[in-house]
A = this chain, B = another copy of it.
């Protein structure tokens, strides 16, 4: 399978979660336009994405929810599970840790890192917190592949660079500092302030 566009991958993740909700509601089949409506996109978009992953339903009575969940998993999940660490376990870090709790998923949160003596060596939000000095050792010992970066901006660049040196293959950067990573490492950045300012801009413009 050739690499999918990022946007499609994002939507696949959303499809899957919507489909899981369907299962909860005992819906076993769903039409493309239903799925689309729940996510506020178009049915064509859904069908096109499914085309890209080579899925097609045999029936004309909508997609088999269970089957589709399975297929999406085969596409976006890795074979064996992948280990994740949260670096900087402040409010944002804990919020993110919460998302992992009780999720049967191919993504395991296996460690957090922080230098706050209140936190070090304690279990926080279900995961043990190590000091930064242990980053190298723990990345290797626990085979951590993905780092979620929620440290204060002052350390962001330095720590990101370290994690990469010690073998991290993907970074999800929530700090306000744009990072630089070597090729072979995947970087995704999200900046909350930008989102807020964007909302403010469009609110202003709508009003005018």
A residues near B (Cβ < 8 Å) are: 3-4, 6, 9-10, 13-14, 17, 38-40, 75-78, 82, 84, 90-92, 94-96, 98-99, 106-107, 145-146, 148, 169-172, 176, 178, 180, 184-186, 188, 190-207
- Of B9, B90, B170, B191, which one neighbours A14 at CB under 8 angstroms? B191
| A40 engages B178 (CB within 8 Å) | yes
Contact partners of A186 in chain B: CB under 8 A: 199, 202-203, 206
What DSSP secondary structure best describes chain A's contact surface?
helix
Contact partners of A92 in chain B: CB under 8 A: 91-92, 95
| A195 engages B178 (CB within 8 Å) | no
A131 CB, min distance to chain B CBs, angstroms = 21
